[in-house]
Amino acid sequence: MEQQEAQEKSQMEENAAAGVENNAQAENNEPVDPVEELTVKCQKLHDEYMRLYADFDNYRKRTMKEKSELIKTASEGVLVDVLPLVDDFERAIQSMDNTDSVDAVKEGVSLIYNKLLSFLSAKGVKEIEAVGLPFDTEFHDAITTIPAPSEDMKGKIIDCTQKGYTLYDKVIRYSKVVIGE
């Protein structure tokens, strides 16, 4: 539909140009050179092409710049949310110097740890369960095998040396596990 309208518009412009040329020809009584006419038309099309090319090039550069800026600042929101946890750790370190009670320090660190876990959970990070489950290469990375303590633990995970995590069901770190054989 748009092509048809564009063709009609182009045809009307050509007819108008031809009418102006015919008027000029009638006024001057000189024939219009077809080569000159085509040269003018070619220059006009070339000018339009160059303008479109420049517009596209500007668009491409602008989108590349916007994408680059987005990549640079994408983690800003997460980092801003982590800063209160850093503040809590700094306060805990300061309180360690001023207190003799180990239980109070343990409780403070435990509170910060729980706050960190809830922060990660809110951001879509979940721990991958491992111990006692069958080994699955989609979630686990076997670092060694040991003799299974019982027959039912063969092929299952005996120990987890490093927890694994998913971010919205995508593994971001595999669990490092020990498998019973």
pLDDT digits (tens, 9 = 90+) for 135-156: 888 999 999 988 888 888 888 8
| pLDDT value at residue 175 | 92
Same domain, yes or no: 117 and 67: no
**Structural domain harbouring 174:** 125-181
Cβ-based neighbour number of residue 127 at 10 Å: 14
Q: Is the pTM of this model over 0.75?
A: no
Same domain, yes or no: 69 and 107: no
Query: pLDDT band at 101, cuts 50/70/90?
Result: confident
Which whole number is the average pLDDT over 19-45? 73
How confident is the model over 36-68, as pLDDT tens digits? 999 999 999 999 999 999 999 999 999 999 998
Same domain, yes or no: 142 and 177: yes
One-character DSSP codes across 62-99 = HHHHHHHHHHHHTTHHHHHHHHHHHHHHHHHHHHHHH-
Number of domains in the chain: 3
Asked if pLDDT for residue 25 goes beyond 50, the answer is no
Same domain, yes or no: 146 and 115: no
Last residue of a domain, one of 123, 140, 155: 123
Same domain, yes or no: 145 and 157: yes
Query: pLDDT band at 2, cuts 50/70/90?
Result: low
In the chain, DSSP assigns E strands to 125-128, 140-146, 157-162, 164-167, 170-173, 175-180
Residue 175 in any domain: the answer is: yes
Please give the residue that has the higher pLDDT: either 107 or 60: 60
> 163 phi and psi, to 5 degrees?
-70, 150
Residue 26 in any domain: the answer is: yes
User: For position 159, which CATH number holds?
Assistant: 2.30.22.10
With residue 133 as reference, give the H or E element that holds it.
none
Residue 3 in any domain: the answer is: no
